C-alpha cells in the first residue's frame, strides 16, 4: 500500500494523481514547485523501480514541467531527485526565474520558506491540476 512520507504530506498541498505519481505542490510561495511521488510502496532509489515505471516517471516529470512552465512563464525548469531528507522516492519539478531568491543556485537550503497567503496554495494546486487534466 502506498503511504506518502510525513514530511512530504506536511510540506505540500495535494494536486492530484497521474497514472503513476501523486502530484503535490510545495508550500513555499517563493518558487512554483511540484513534487511527484510514485504511488509504489517502499521505493527509495530510482533504480528500485521497474524499467516501465522509470520511463513513466520521467514522462510524468516532463508533463508537469511543461505545465508549470506554461503557468508561470519560468526562465528555467529544474528537475531533481535527491532524497537526502525524505527517503521516499520523489521528483522535484521547480519553476525558476532569474529574479527568484535563489537564482542561479539550487533552491535547497536558501532562505526561509515563505508560506502562501490563505487559499493561494490551493488555488495554485487547482490551476496545476487543471493544466495537467487530472
pLDDT of residue 90: 98
Statement: residue 121 has pLDDT above 90: yes
* Per-residue pLDDT tens over the stretch 20-77: 999 999 999 999 999 999 999 999 999 999 999 999 999 999 999 999 999 999 999 9
Instruction: Give pTM, 2 decimals.
Output: 0.96
Q: Which helix (H) or strand (E) holds 74?
A: none
The pLDDT of residue 109 is: 81
**Count of H-run helices and E-run strands, the chain:** 3, 5
- Alpha-carbon distance of 109 to 131, in angstroms, equals 29
Q: Which residues of 88-116 are buried (b: 16+ CB within 10 A; e: fewer)?
A: bbbbbbbbbeeebebeeeebeeeeeeeeb
Distance CA 21, CA 16 (A): 9
Once rounded to an integer, what is the mean pLDDT over residues 93-102? 96
Judge whether residue 110 has pLDDT over 90.
no
Per-residue model confidence (pLDDT) at position 31 = 96
Domains, the chain, ordered by start: 6-123 (3.30.428.10)
Amino acid at each position: 500500500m502506498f503511504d506518502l512520507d510525513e514530511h512530504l504530506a506536511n510540506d505540500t498541498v495535494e494536486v492530484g494523481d497521474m497514472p503513476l505519481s501523486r502530484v503535490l505542490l510545495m508550500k513555499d510561495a517563493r518558487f512554483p514547485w511540484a513534487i511527484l511521488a510514485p504511488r509504489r510502496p517502499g521505493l527509495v532509489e530510482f533504480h528500485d523501480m521497474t524499467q516501465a515505471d522509470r520511463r513513466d516517471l520521467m514522462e510524468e516529470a516532463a508533463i508537469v514541467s511543461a505545465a508549470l512552465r506554461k503557468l508561470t512563464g519560468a526562465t528555467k525548469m529544474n528537475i531533481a531527485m535527491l532524497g537526502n531528507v525524505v527517503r521516499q522516492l520523489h521528483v522535484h519539478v521547480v519553476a525558476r526565474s532569474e529574479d527568484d531568491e535563489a537564482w542561479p543556485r539550487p533552491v535547497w537550503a536558501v532562505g526561509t520558506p515563505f508560506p502562501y497567503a490563505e487559499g493561494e496554495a490551493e488555488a495554485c494546486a487547482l490551476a496545476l491540476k487543471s493544466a495537467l487534466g487530472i
